[in-house]
Amino acid sequence: MNDLAVPLRAIGGSRPRIDADLKVTGAARYTTDLELPRMLHAKTLRSPHAHARLASIDASAARTMPGVHAVITRDDLKGLNPTYGYFIKDMPIVAIDKVRYIGDPVAAVAAETEEQAVRALERIAVRYEELPTVATIEAALAPDAAALFETPQMGIVPAYGVGASGFKEPMKNVCYRFAYTFGDKAAFARADHVFTDEFRFSRLQHYFLEPFVALARVEAGQIELWTSTQSPFALRKELARVFNHPEQAIRIHVPLMGAGYGGKNNCKAEPIAILLAKLAGRPVRFCMTQEENFLTQSQHAAVHRLETAVAKDGRFIARRARVLLDAGAYSDASPLVAEKAGYRSHGPYRWEHVDSAADCVMTNTTPAGPFRGFGGTQASWASESQIDMIARRLGIDPVALRKKNLLKLREAYCPGESGMDSDLAEGLDVVCREIGYGRGEKKRGRGIGIAIGFKDSGGINKPAEAVVKVTTTGGIIINSGSIEIGQGVHSAYTRIVAELFNAPTERVSYAPINTDVTPYDQGTNASSGIVVMGVAVERAARACIDQVLAFAAEQLKCRADELRLDNWSVVKGNEAHPLMPMIMRKFGGTGYEFSGRGYFKAENDHHAPLETKCVSWEFGWGAAEVEVDEETGKVTVLQLVVSGDAGRAIDEAVCRGQDEGAAVMGLGQALFEGMQYEGPVLANLAAAKYRVPLASDLPERFRSITQEQGHGPGPFGSKGIGEGGLLPVAPAIANAIEDAVGVRISSLPLTPEKVLAALEAKRAAKR
Amino acid sequence: MSEPIAISLTLNGRALRATVAPNRVLADLIRQDQALTGTKIGCDQGTCGACTVLVDGIVTASCSTFAWQVDGKMVTTIEGVATNGALDPVQESFKSRSAFQCGYCTPGMILLAKALLAADPNPSRATIRDWISANVCRCTGYQMIIEAVEDAAQRVREGAQ
C-alpha cells in the first residue's frame, strides 16, 4: 500500500481542483452569500467593560423600534441551557450575571435591515457595575486577583490513559489543567546540566476573510441552519443541548467556507441566529463584522517554562514543562489546547522522564480557542528555541544535537503511543541542504537557524464515516462530512476515489454537507482529513467497488476476483464489458445506484495517554537565514525554507499551498503580527490596525519542499499537511538571530525593539 | 441628505440604471441589489481587498466606495471577467496553478491582476509582488498567486501574438 513504485493515474502531480471553476469565476457560494425569503438581519450589543456585574438591562424601547422583530437579552433565555463550550459549558448566549471581556455579547436584535438593528441596539439601556479586571496571565494568578467565575461551571474531565490526567478548575482563574508524565523524576539528578528557560508566545487573530456567519430558520419545530463551521455534527449536538431541541430536528448545511484556521468550531454566530429566528418566526442572518471576529476568538498567548536535563555529551535526559495558556474570558476549546500544549512539550525526542502541566488561565480578554497548530505552535516555539540555546551552551552544533536525540522512524513518541511516521533526520537534512547549513563562511550580522515543528495529527478518538455511490452511468458521488475550508480536501478525495475506481476525476463529485444525510464526522480539524476521513473514504470506495464487481461477476457468471474496473467497464482477461448495459438489463429502465460505506476510528487504548494512539504525526522542518541590523535591531529574513512530509502527495500544488500558507502565518507571528492588549483593551482591534503578512513581507528567497517519505497511514501512504509549516518558523528565526548576533529573544514577536534592547544589554555587559 | 440618487453605469458590460441612497456602498449595490455575490466583503474597511472591483479599469474597494460615485462609469466584477463562459487568462492561471485555497480573496486578487496586466503586460516579479500586496490572502502565502500572475502575463502575451 505504501509502495511508491506503483504507478497511479489520479494521484500525484498537480491538477485543477474541483472547486477551481467556482472560485475563479465568483460563482462559489459561501454562507455569507445566502439569502432566504423574509430574512432578517441580526446585530449584537457588546460590553464596553472588561469585567462588570450586569445590574440591569432594559430592552423595551428597542423592541418597538421600526423594523425590529426580535430582541434577546438575559430575560429571553428561559427554557434553554444557555451556556456552551467544549469540556466546560461556561459561555452564555448573551451575558447573564456578568460581562467578562470587552466585546462580551449582552443583547441581540433581529430587524428588517442591519441599520435598523443597529439603531435598536442604541436604545437598549444597560447598567453595569464595574469589577476589577485581570488582563494578563500573571494578573489572573495573583493571590488577590478578581475571579472571573465565583462558582464551578458545568463541565467534564474526559478519561485519560496511562500518565495523563485532567483537572477541572484546579484553582482560581484556572478553568482546566492537563498533566502528563512518564519515567522517574530521579532522572534529573543524573544529569550533568539542568537548564531552565522561559518563553512567551504571542496571540494571533485567525483573520479569516469570511467572518463568523450563520443563517437560521426555525419552522414547525425544525431548526435549519446554514453556517460556516468546521464541525457541523459536534455543533448539532451542542445546539440540541442548548436549545433543548431534538437532534433529528436540527439540520445543518455547510457551504464552502471562507477559511477557518481552526477557529470555526462549536457555537459562535449560531445560537444568536437560531434564538432570534425562533422568536421572530422569520429566518435570521447573523454575519459578524471583522471587529466582532476579533472579539469572538483568538489564538492562545502562553508562558512556557522548560527545565531540561541533559548529559554533557548532549543526550537529553528529562524535561519538566509548565505551560500557562491565556484562555481569555471563557473556556471554549482551551482545555483541549492545554492537552496538546502539555502533551507536545517534549518534542519528537528521546527522554527518560517527562513531566508536563498546562493550565488554562482565565483573563478578561477575548476567549481563546482552536488555532492551526493547536498547542503545538506554542510547544514548538518554546522547545525548539531552548534546544538551540542548550546546543550553544554545550558547544554542540544545533543540528547535531537534534540528530543525537531525535526519535527514529517507527519509534514510539512515549510509552503506549504510536511511532513516528516520518524519518525526522531525513527531513532535517532536506531543509539544511536547501538553506546551505554549515556551508560558506559566516558573515557579520547574518545567521542561520533551524527548527522542527511537531504535533500529532488526526485528532483524538475520532470516528469518521463516508459513503461512496456510483450511478448507472458511472457517475461517482462522495458523501462525507469533511468541510472544504480551502485545504482542498474535496479535491483530494475525488482523486483518491478516481484512482480506486480507475476512472477519470471528472466522473467524481462531492455531495453538499447536510447533517441529515451526510455520514457522521467529528470535524474538519487536526489535519485529519487525509489520515482519518481519507481512510473512511477509501474504504467506502472499496466497498462500493466490491459491490459493482460482485454484481458484474454474477452477470458474467465468473468470480469477482477475476474482474477489475476500467473506466466504467469491467475487464475480464482481455475483454472489457461495459457496466451500463449490464445494469440496465438487471434493474430495468431506471437503473440503479451502488453504494458503499467506509468507517475509520483509531482503537480505544487505555495504555495510550490520550486513550487512543495518535493516528499520525505532523512535522514542519524549517530553516531561516536572517540579517540583523545591529544599529536598529531590524531583522530581515533573507531565506525561509519549510518542508512537510505528505507521505504521498495527492496533489503537489495543494500540499505546497498548505506549507507556504502556514509558513507565512508563522512569519507574521515571528516578526510583527499579534493582538496587542493594553490592559484589557485590544489596542489593534480591526483590520486597519492589525497587520497580517502581505506579499511584500515574503523573504527574498522562500522555498517549500513537499517530502513524500511514504510512511503515512492515509490512502497510498499519505499524511496530513495542513498545520506543520506554521510550527518551525518563529523558532527558526529566533535561532537564526542568535546565530547572527548572539542574542536570544524569547518572546514573540521578534521586534526590532526587543532585538536592539538585547544587543544593547549585551554591549553593556561587555563593557 | 437622504434623498435617493439616480445613477447610471455599465456593470459587466450591461447598462444599469439604479436609484441608491446616498450612503449605499458599491459593494451592497453589487451583492444585494444585483445579486452578484462573487464580490466578497472581508474587513469592510477598505483594507483587505476582498471586495476589489474595477471602476473604469481602476482597482477599487467596493466596500468603501459609495454607489453614487460610480455614476457614469464602467464597473467590472469577477462575474464580468470571463467572456461567454470562457475563462480569462488570469482565471486560467489561477485555476491551473491552484493559486487559491478558500477562494474568498480570489475574485479580488484576479481583478487586481487584471488591472496590473492592463497597466504593465510584462511585469517583473517585484512589480507583481508590489501590486498583490494591496490585498490580503490568509491562506496561500502569496507565492503561488505571484507565480499565477506571471503565468497569466505569459498567456496574455502569447494570446496577443
Is residue A7 predicted with pLDDT exceeding 80? no
- Is residue A657 less than 8 Å (CB to CB) from chain B? yes
Tell me: pLDDT of B15 over 70: yes
Say if A692 is an interface residue toward chain B (CB within 8 Å): yes
pLDDT above 60 for A4: no
Q: Tell me whether strands A563-566 and A569-572 are parallel, antiparallel or unpaired.
A: antiparallel
Name the residue of chain A whose CA is nearest to B90's CA.
A24
Residues A225 and A89 in one domain: yes
Among A550, A585, A600, identify where a domain stops: A600
Q: What's the pLDDT at B160?
A: 76
Read off the pLDDT of residues A498-536 as tens digits, 9 standing for 90 and up. 999 999 999 999 999 999 999 999 999 999 999 999 999
Is the pLDDT at B161 greater than 80, yes or no? no
Q: What is the ipTM of this complex?
A: 0.98
Distance from CA of B53 to the nearest CA of A (A): 12
A309 touches chain B (CB under 8 A): no
Instruction: Please name the residue of chain B whose CA is at the shortest distance from the CA of residue A291.
Output: B43
List CB contacts (< 8 A) between B130 and chain A. 695-696
pLDDT of residue A2: 40
- pLDDT above 90 covers a percentage of chain B that reads 96
Q: Are residues A619 and A752 in the same domain?
A: yes
Tens digits of residue pLDDT in A745-766: 999 999 999 999 999 999 999 8
Residues A240 and A315 in one domain: no
The answer to whether B125 faces chain A, any CB pair under 8 Å, is: no
Determine the distance in angstroms separating the CA of A643 from the nearest CA of chain B, rounded to an integer: 14
The residue whose grid cell reads 518572546 is A747
Q: How far, in whole angstroms, is CA B99 from its chain's centroid? A: 16
Model pLDDT for residues A711-751, shown as the tens digit of each residue: 999 999 999 999 999 999 999 999 999 999 999 999 999 99
Residues A399 and A512 in one domain: no
CB contact under 8 A, B41 and A32: yes
How many inter-chain contacts (A to B, CB under 8 Å) are there?
162
C-alpha A473/C-alpha A506 separation (Å) is 13
Q: Rounded to whole angstroms, what are the CA distances from A240 to A73, A84, A252, A267, A336? A: 20, 11, 12, 11, 22
Q: What is the pLDDT of residue B1?
A: 53
Fold of domain B89-160: DNA polymerase; domain 1 (1.10.150)
Domain that includes residue A738, residue range: 302-459+607-766
Is A156 among the domain residues?
no
With H, G, I as helix, E, B as strand and everything else as coil, classify residue A454. strand
Instruction: Assign residue A487 the CATH number of its domain.
Output: 3.30.365.10
CA-based end-to-end distance of chain B: 53
Contact B138 A32 (CB under 8 A): no
Q: Which residue has the cell 540583523?
A: A628
A699 touches chain B (CB under 8 A): no
Q: Do B101 and A488 touch (CB under 8 A)?
A: yes
Q: What CA–CA distance (Å, rounded) separates A431 from A623?
A: 6
Which H or E element spans position A435? helix A424-435
* Domain residue ranges of chain B, discontinuous segments joined by +: 5-80, 89-160
Residue A166 domain-assigned (yes or no): no
- A715/chain B closest Cα distance in angstroms: 22
B43 and A290 within 8 Å at the Cβ level: the answer is yes
* Same domain, yes or no: A641 and A684: yes
pLDDT tens-digit map of A183-229? 999 999 999 999 999 999 999 999 999 999 999 999 999 999 999 99
- Alpha carbon of B7: minimum distance to chain A alpha carbons (Å): 23
Residues A741 and A641 placed together within one structural domain of the fold: yes
> What superfamily would CATH give domain B5-80?
Beta-grasp domain (3.10.20.30)
A17 at interface of B, judged by CB pairs closer than 8 A: yes
Q: Is B106 on the interface with A (CB under 8 A)?
A: yes
The answer to the question of residue A98 being in a domain is yes
Round to whole Å and give the CA distance between A637 and A627.
Answer: 6
Tens of pLDDT, residues B33-88 = 999 999 999 999 999 999 999 999 999 999 999 999 999 999 999 999 999 889 99
Q: How close, in Å, is residue B12 to chain A by CA atoms?
A: 13
**pLDDT 10s digits, A105-132:** 999 999 999 999 999 999 999 999 999 9
* Best CA proximity match to A153, nearest among A114, A111, A97, A103: A97
Residue A177 located in a structural domain: no
Nearest CA-CA partner of A455 in A415, A421, A411: A421
* B97 at interface of A, judged by CB pairs closer than 8 A: yes
Identify whether A199 is part of a domain: no
Condensed to tens digits (0 to 9), the pLDDT of residues A435-444 reads: 999 998 889 9
- Can you list the positions of beta strands (E) in A500-604? 508-510, 513-514, 563-566, 569-572, 575-578, 593-600
Q: Side-chain half-sphere of A409: how many Cα atoms within 13 Å?
A: 12
Listed residue (A263, A118, A115, A542) closest to A107, CA to CA:
A118
Do the chains contact at A209 and B138, CB–CB below 8 Å? Answer: yes
Name which of A486, A651, A665 is nearest B103 (Cβ-Cβ): A486
Residues A314 and A444 in one domain: yes
User: Locate cell 502531480: which residue?
Assistant: A13
The mean pLDDT of A129-151, rounded to a whole number, is 98
A13 shares contact with chain B (CB less than 8 Å) = no
CA distances from A148 to A51, A106, A151, A338 (A): 8, 16, 9, 19
Query: Are both A123 and A220 inside the same structural domain?
Result: yes
The residue of chain B with its CA nearest to that of A209 is B42
pTM of the model: 0.97
In angstroms, the CA A700 to CA A641 distance is: 11
Mean pLDDT, chain A, integer: 97
DSSP per-residue letters across A181-247: EES-GGGGGG-SEEEEEEEEE-------SS-SEEEEEEETTEEEEEE--S-HHHHHHHHHHHTT--G
Which residue in A has a C-alpha nearest to residue B133's C-alpha? A695
Say how many domains are in chain A.
3
User: Is B79 in the A-facing interface, judged by CB distances under 8 Å?
Assistant: yes
Is A13 within a domain? Answer: no
Contact B144 A488 (CB under 8 A): no
Put simply, the answer to whether A25 touches B43 (Cβ < 8 Å) is: no
For A289, the closest chain B residue by CA position comes to B43
Across the interface, whether the CB atoms of B143 and A208 are under 8 A apart is answered no
A212 touching chain B per CB within 8 A = no
Q: Which residues of B touch A686 (CB under 8 A)?
A: 43, 45
Q: Report d(CA A292, CA A273) in Å as an integer.
A: 15
Residue A5: predicted pLDDT: 45
Is residue A197 assigned to a domain? no
Residue A57 lies in a domain: yes
